[in-house]
Amino acid sequence: MRTRSLAARFLEALAEALEALEHDVGLSLRRPALPTALSLALTFLVAFSSGILIPAAAFISCLLASLAFKLPRSWIKPVLAVALWAGFVSAPLAFIELTSSGAFRLELNAKGAYEALSLTLRAAASTSIFTASIQLLGWRGWLQGLEGLRIPKLLVRLTMLSLFYIPLFLREALRMLLAREARMLGRVGAKQSWRLMATVVGDLLLRGHDRAWRLERAFMARSLHYP
Amino acid sequence: MLLSANSVYFRYPKGPEVLRGASLTLDRGEVVAVIGPNGSGKTTLLLVASGLLEPESGEVLFEGSPLKEQLPWARRRIGFVFQDPDDQLFNPTAFDELAFTLRQLLSSEAEVKRRVEELAEKLKLSHLLDRPPFKLSVGEKRRVALASVLIYDPDLLILDEPTANLSSKSAAEVVEVVKEARGASKGVLVSSHDVEFVASVADRVYVLNEGRLHGGLSARQVLTDEVLLSLADMAPPAAFRAAEALGLRLKKPPLTVEELKEARLA
């Protein structure tokens, strides 16, 4: 039995990570604007903090909150995905040392490693605050909160559509990739798989344009103010 | 006349001409079906008839006046159900789908909620209201798409292939909705490949072929006319074929099993 290619598994994991966010536990709040503002403020604070204590504390607090409110454990998936990516991107920092003369030296150093860890923790912690607040408020509550904060309706609507369509497009890309791989004879290596992915991306762009056109008709059909 | 399209021409940008002088009429309390082969332009015709696409030439009249001049408020009275429900559903939950147009009409969210729950109860959608549309099955999506249009009680319903990919039970529910709309003096314009569905609901049928509409006659006349049906790439309804195969000489060719049964008993 043919196993799924790396590209297919990557897409599936990404779609699952995003779909994990839409589990709508949703506390019913009459005014979700304040919790939304709080979650946004905390996310930014943690993202731009220095050191590792604040992000570590934020991450642990989110873990405790998820246990207290019995949030589905799936919220950890996007956090791990972000942590993995941030760790991958920041890993070179551990090997870059700034000398007193201002030049760079490639050598494993404690300061660089600390910066890499701090960056990874900040990314993971700010993601965990964001995802935990989404799980608590629910997407609807969070979007209502944004409206309550007087964020322009157009931006809120665009955010809603992004949240709606990104997992859909990922799933569609996965189906397209699997359909292409099903017609490949023999084992699909990493190189072939990524080449197929490139054709999928091109196809998605075209389909995206087509879908956007039909989405516009759908909006028009039920909008009493859209010309 | 509720809706009329007169000599409509339409071409997509840099594409071939899809509609070439298509004309149709539809009145209140009438169900008009448009049949035709794949790619004949049925969806395009419906989009033009609903004002979602503007024809190159020709006109679409809604209650005797140009539809173009009545938009966008005329959309309050026109309900369009897309062929692919994924094209139509764009809100976070099924509740929001049903509430979308109502929220533009009503200022009270409580009233919106009441009406959504009432219709969901009637169409057996209550258990789906909190779910995101893309997590629903095809049949459930179709029902939500239909409900999102019925909720604001339009005078004209336009349904693009409403029974495609539906089980016979779900298709029967769509038939009931169409009959109920006709009974409430609404106009219903449907496009379909499903000859049994068309036979069970349509009062008149047009055949769209190479951008032109043919027929516009009664469903019985069109669905038993081999020439017209060949233009649509369709076969007559099973009941008619059964009657022919059995050599039954009936005054009124049956279109449905019920009609065949009645004719045999008579």
Could you tell me which residues are beta bridge partners of residue B191? B34, B160
Average pLDDT, integer, range A68-93? 83
Alpha-carbon gap, residue A61 to A121, rounded angstroms: 13
Average pLDDT of the segment spanning A53-57 = 89
According to the model, what pLDDT value does residue A189 have?
77
Contact A139 B50 (CB under 8 A): no
The mean-pLDDT minimum among A47-56, A83-92, A137-146, B142-151 falls in: A137-146
Contact B82 A215 (CB under 8 A): no
In this predicted structure, what is the pLDDT of residue B95? 93
Under the banding of pLDDT at 50, 70 and 90, the label for residue A196 is confident
Q: Output the six-digit token pair for A27.
A: 């506390």
Mean pLDDT value across residues A167-177: 83
**What is the per-residue pLDDT across B228-249, written as a single tens digit (0 to 9) for each?**
999 999 999 999 999 889 888 8
| B80 DSSP β-pair partners | B158
Mean of pLDDT over chain A: 81
pLDDT at B197: 94
CB pairs under 8 A between A and B: 67
- Kindly indicate the confidence band of residue A1, based on its pLDDT and cuts at 50, 70 and 90: very low
Of all residues in chain A, the one with the smallest CA distance to B148 is A222
Cα separation, A136 vs B9, in Å, equals: 53
CA atoms within 13 A on the CB side of A73: 0
Residue ranges of domains in chain A:
6-221
- Residue type for position B236: P
Residue A23 in this model has a pLDDT that exceeds 60: no
CB contact under 8 A, A164 and B132: yes
- The pLDDT of residue A76 is 79
Interatomic CA distance for residues A57 and A63, integer angstroms: 10
pLDDT for res B252: 84
Answer whether B3's CB lies under 8 Å from B176's CB.
Answer: no
Residue of A30, A209, A222 to mutate, testing the B interface (most B Cβ within 10 Å of its Cβ): A222
Q: Averaged over A133-160, what is the pLDDT? A: 83
Positions in chain B short of pLDDT 70: 266
Instruction: pLDDT band for A4, please (50, 70, 90 cuts).
Output: low
Q: Residue A139 carries which side chain, given as an amino acid letter? A: W
Residue in A160, A167, A224 closest to B75 by CB: A224
pLDDT at B222: 93
The Cα of B137 is separated from the nearest Cα of chain A by a number of Å equal to 14
ipTM of the complex: 0.78
Contact residues, chain A, for B82 at CB < 8 Å: 214, 217-218, 221
Q: Is the pLDDT of residue A26 over 80?
A: no
Supply the pLDDT for residue A30: 67
The span from the CA of A25 to the CA of A145, in Å, is 16
The encoded tokens of residue A25 equal 């536990």
For residue B1, the model assigns a pLDDT of 92
Are A72 and A23 a contacting pair, CB within 8 Å?
yes
Number of other CB atoms surrounding residue A198 within 10 Å: 10
Check residue B34 and give its pLDDT: 96
Query: What's the CA gap between B246 and B240, in Å, rounded?
Result: 10
Tell me the HSE value of B49 on the side-chain side, using a 13 A CA sphere: 33
Peptide bond into A72 cis (omega under 30): no
Query: In A, which residues are within 8 Å of B132 by CB distance?
Result: 22, 164
Residue type, A39: S
- The DSSP secondary-structure symbol of B236 reads P
pLDDT at B78: 94
| Strand arrangement of the beta sheet that strand B17-26 belongs to | B17-26, B3-11, B57-62, B65-66
Residues 6+ apart with CB under 8 A from A141: A26, A27, A28, A29, A32, A35, A36
Angle formed at CA A130 by CA A123 and CA B89, multiple of 5 degrees: 125
Which chain B residues are Cβ-neighbours of A163 within 8 angstroms? 92
pLDDT at A102 over 80: no
In B72-211, the DSSP E strands lie at 78-81, 156-160, 187-191, 204-209
Name the token pair of B29: 């309390």
A interface residues, B as partner, C-beta within 8 Å: 22, 24, 139-140, 143, 160-161, 163-164, 167-168, 211, 214-215, 217-227
Q: Which residues of A touch B93 (CB under 8 A)?
A: 24, 140
Higher pLDDT, B17 or A22: B17
For an interface test with A, the pick among B12, B14, B86 (most A C-beta atoms closer than 10 Å) comes out as B86
User: If you search the block for the tokens 């997509």, which residue do you land on?
Assistant: B12
On chain B, the residues whose CB falls within 8 A of the CB of A222 are: 75, 100-101, 148-149
pLDDT band per the 50, 70, 90 thresholds, residue A99: confident
Question: Would you give the end-to-end CA distance of chain B in angstroms?
Answer: 36
Question: A10-24, A34-48, B84-98, B207-221 — which is least confidently predicted?
Answer: A10-24
Give pLDDT tens digits for B59-79.
999 999 999 999 888 999 999
- Residue B155: the pLDDT is 95
Placement of tokens 């629910």 in the chain: A138
Q: What is the pLDDT of residue B66?
A: 95
